[in-house]
A and B are shown apart, each in its own frame.
Chain A
Amino acid sequence: MAPSTATHQAGETPANACPLVSIEELSVDFDTPRGTIHALRNISLEVPKGKVLGLVGESGCGKSTLAYSMIGLLAENAKVTGGSIRMGGHDLAHFKPKAWRKLRGTRISMIFQDPMTSLNPVTTIGKQMIDIQYREPVRRAEKRSRAIEFLEQVQLPDAAAKLDVYPHQLSGGMRQRVCIAMALLTRPDLLIADEPTTALDATLEMQIVILLRELQEKFGCSVLFVSHHLGTVSELCDEVAVMYAGEVVERGAVREVFHAPRHPYTQALFDCDPARIRQATRQLPTIPGTLPDLRRPPEGCAFRARCTKAFSRCNAEHPPLYAAEQGQVARCHLNDPAENAA
């Protein structure tokens, strides 16, 4: 494994200079019996090479939809209506099923939210790990020893014996370790992790996050880490994008965004994070109001109905992503230099 790790790092150029994936103006619609939901609107985002990008936001903000669109696993009623997802000279947004299949399990792999249901319940762990290596022109015994090797990488005790075990015989934490081992086994350039710790309890959550960080550094792949847990994002990620109602409202380096959020929504998320509340309170704060109806996305700023700092301009004019310092951008008129000048 050491040589291939080396080639990964050798090919690496300074961060952001050449992103692994760059998404431009991506829009996704869902057709439902009760109308078309514009779930993603004009998303622009870059996944840097060899780094971890966090994707945060409330449930229903579109962060999982974005993650699934990057591996071509959107629901049947979803449709990419515009934009592009560029990766290594390809536009994934217009991939056909056959092209997707070539990419999945080779350059991109994914870890899912619920480890309890992500593994095939009627097949042993070993067979599942051998199956995903079906493209490799090596003997079965070799695939098997590779499987054991990766189960050891994710610090699963007694790895060899685990191959003959069925998923239901393992605990949730162990299953998620198996899923991580499978995802890394295919040596992907991009690993998508869709809330991989949400279904686990708090102590396991940190263990898995630390494990992911170690393995990411070891294998040098890029990670898209979807989460609504700010603590894990700050622990694991290099960069972060905040999503609200199907839009990216703020993005930048984790340190900058967490230290000085430029969008009122990001600020509100931090205010509601139980881990960041210093004073003892009886009630956990929440952001008042609900997500806008995405069948008819609002004209102006999507967050204005829930925003304490909204002013007249927010109603009429849809804010662009204003650039701040250090590459941080935010979709709020308060960041408009003209606004500050006035």
Chain B
Amino acid sequence: MTDATQSLLPEPGLLARSLHVLSGNRTGVIGFVLVALIVGSAIFAPWIVPYDPTAIMTGPRMAPPSAEHWLGTDNIGRDIFSRVIAGGRIAMLVAAASLTAALSAGLLLGLISGLGPRWLDNLLLLIFDALRSFPTIVFGLAVVTIIGPSLFTVMLVVAITSVPIYARIVRTQTLALKNAEFILAERAMGVGLPRLLFVHMLPNVLGPLLILASMDVPLVIATEAGLSFLGMGVRPPTPSWGVILNDGYNFIRNSPWPVIGGSIPIILITLGFTFMGEALRDIFDPKLRKAG
């Protein structure tokens, strides 16, 4: 009955809806602000950091936060704040590179899967399922055994494990569009299918994919930090958040500050991208939840 009475009132438009979503849920605004702050600090890291992030003995060892060292210092006297900001640069680099690679590969494989012959579709689906049955970290460790630990390994692992999600969405969209009436009509007039898909599908599928990708950023960052924490990703002394946490963990009984300092950005960035992704989804595509 509520639905019936509600439908008697006019529906708001897209702009009104985005304003409503953003004004109604304060978390969306917080999300955008956090993301802007962290991405900004990553881009401008070299100009923000008060100390060289790898310079040792910039102050006393394992010092608590102070005016000189905002997040304290670690076991060899490096400034944690500088290292955290520089670590953000690594995290953003990994996220941007691997998600771009995963999106492109997902788009391509999804199209192939949707348009190609049945056996190829089935084979790709099987490979997607196989990839998804690996735990990300365990798969990452296996890859590290094969090609050794490095920043590139981390990006590769993240890209490979993310591809199936995107590819499946593109495949579903492709299949739906392949048999849509307006596509059949245009094909009857002699327009090629690849061209049609490029015109009709790309704009449709790109939005949802980007929103999903932005919600995946925290996962990517946790994977990078996690592998680096285990010493299987970014190698010391490069200041990745995982490396900072590992240094902190080794001296956790002496000083909590490296662990606290190294974990704050991970928590903030996860909150930021999750809130932002949810707000974007509410604005652009309420149905997206089902697509995943």
A and B touch in the complex (CB under 8 A): yes
Q: Which of A32-40, A249-257, A319-327 contacts the other chain?
A: A32-40
A206 within 8 A of B: no
Interface centre among B1, B2, B5, B6 (most CB of A within 10 A): B1
Residue contact A32 to B5, C-beta cutoff 8 Å: yes
SS class, residues of chain B in contact with chain A: helix
A294 within 8 A of B: yes
B283, chain A: closest CB distance, angstroms: 18
Task: Give the shortest distance, in Å, between B93 (CB) and chain A (any CB).
Answer: 44
**B2 — which chain A residues lie within 8 A by C-beta?**
30, 32, 75, 77-78
Q: How many residues in B have their beta carbons less than 8 Å from beta carbons of A? A: 7
Instruction: Check B1–A78 contact: CB distance below 8 A.
Output: yes
Q: Does A307 contact B (CB under 8 A)?
A: no
Q: Is the CB of B1 within 8 A of A65?
A: yes
Q: Is A207 an interface residue (CB 8 A)?
A: no
CB under 8 Å from chain A, chain B span 70-129 = none
The answer to whether the Cβ of B14 comes within 8 Å of any Cβ in the partner chain is: no
Contact with A along B1-24 (1 / 0, CB 8 A): 110111011000000000000000
Across the interface, do B5 and A68 meet the contact criterion of CB distance under 8 Å? Answer: no
Q: Which chain B residue lies CB-closest to A31? A: B2
Docked pose: A74 CA to B9 CA in angstroms: 20
- Complex Cα–Cα for A32 and B4 (A): 12
**Is residue A60 contacting chain B, with contact meaning CB distance below 8 A?**
yes
Interface positions of A from 30 to 82, Cβ below 8 Å from B: 30, 32, 34, 37, 39, 59-60, 64-65, 68, 74-75, 77-78
A39 to B3, CA, bound (A): 13
A245 to B273, CA, bound (A): 47
| Nearest CB in chain B to that of A67: its residue | B1
* Nearest-Cβ distance from residue B265 to partner chain A, whole angstroms: 37
Establish whether residues A75 and B8, one from each chain, have CB atoms under 8 Å apart when the complex forms: no
Whether A132 is near chain B, meaning CB under 8 Å from some CB there, is no
Could you tell me the distance in whole angstroms from the C-beta of A215 to the nearest C-beta in chain B?
27
In the bound assembly, the distance between CA atoms of A187 and B2 in angstroms comes to: 30
Question: Judging by beta carbons under 8 Å apart, are B5 and A30 in contact?
Answer: yes
Measured CB to CB, the closest approach of chain A to B23, in angstroms, equals: 13
Q: Find out whether the CB atom of A294 lies under 8 angstroms from the CB atom of B8.
A: yes
8 CB-based A-B contacts, threshold 8 Å:
A30-B2, A30-B5, A34-B9, A37-B8, A64-B1, A74-B1, A75-B2, A78-B2
Q: Closest 5 interchain pairs by CB? A: A75-B2, A37-B5, A75-B1, A30-B5, A34-B9
